[in-house]
Structure 1
Amino acid sequence: MSDTGDSQSSNEWALQTFNFKMECDALSEAVGFTKISGLEASRETVEMRTGDDPTGTTQVMPGRPKGATITCERPFRPDKKELLEWWNGAKANTIARQMITISMLDEAGNPVDIGVFRLAEAFPTSWKPSDLDAMGSGAAMETLTIQCQQVLLPGDTSGGE
């Protein structure tokens, strides 16, 4: 089947990294970021060896999922205060952890199944404005760092909660 250029067939084109959104209950609407980094699913490894194993080989098995640190950057706008409000609500032992969904989007703005990542038990750990520079000409940015218990990949039905 030929491509007419009207839309990109999902089996002919790779997903683009510039169309994505982040959603969670702590934020009233999907939040637009210029960059999200640190998406990584990993797990501990468990090494084991029995004393009666004549080969002396150490067995390695998959262990518990590891948490991840996700960094989100966006333009700093006075009318968009939800990140600061979420940060201000994160006090010791009082923050309601969130399930965050980060979705890669197709050319029509719809989430693509294989590009939906969930951050289980997430909460903000750092908020930082960009440096102020009287000689600069760039847009002011804000950076939110989020810690999560586990990054759930597409197809993972464990729920993470």
Structure 2
Amino acid sequence: MPDREIYRAYNFILDLGEGPVGYFTEVTGLSVEVEAIDYREGGGGPAVRKLAGRAKYGNITLKWGLSESRDLWDWMQTAASGSVERRHISIILTRPGGQEQARWNLTDAWPTAWRGAEFDALSNASAIETLTLVCEGIERA
């Protein structure tokens, strides 16, 4: 069996279709689940068969350090104003030198929630914002 490199989970970027945006501290929720539908055939014995149903994609949460970039804020505000802008975007895992290792393409993604940074005058932590995205498809490229 050939050696297979295990990827490190700490180097990743978000591409909104126009190039990379920001530096992120965390991406969670990349998931897909296919609904299992119980089906019992007439006269088919005591076993319940399983049919594949609809695919459901998880909500993706992004966390990043607050910066002067307004790209994600403006995208969220467009959705909040009632004009959802769906985009084909990518989450890209990179090597420490910046070369791409893996990519997840999200189809028809749009922001559904934003949470601002917590401010504390007694803390020296980075100001972290959170954005939740929904999508209608995930493809590993």
Bin the TM-score by the shorter chain. 0.7 to 0.9
Map residues 10-159 of structure 1 onto 2, 5 A cutoff.
Answer: 11-25=3-17, 29-53=20-44, 55-77=45-67, 79-91=68-80, 94-112=83-101, 115-154=102-141
Q: Is the 8 A contact 1:97 1:122 kept in 2?
A: yes
How far, CA to CA, are the matches of 2:97 and 2:20 in structure 1? Answer: 19
TM-superposed CA distance for 1:103, in Å, is: 1.3
TM-superposed CA distance for 1:20, in Å, is: 1.3
* Aligned-residue RMSD, C-alpha: 2.1
Letter in 1 for 2:15: E
Q: Is the 8 A contact 1:70 1:145 kept in 2?
A: yes
Letter in 1 for 2:48: T
How far, CA to CA, are the matches of 2:129 and 2:107 in structure 1? Answer: 23
TM-superposed CA distance for 1:88, in Å, is: 0.7
Instruction: Provide the TM-score with structure 1 as the length reference.
Output: 0.77
SS in 2 for 1:90: helix
Unpaired runs of 5+ in structure 1? 1-10, 155-161
How far, CA to CA, are the matches of 2:54 and 2:100 in structure 1? Answer: 29
SS in 1 for 2:31: coil
Unpaired runs of 5+ in structure 2? none
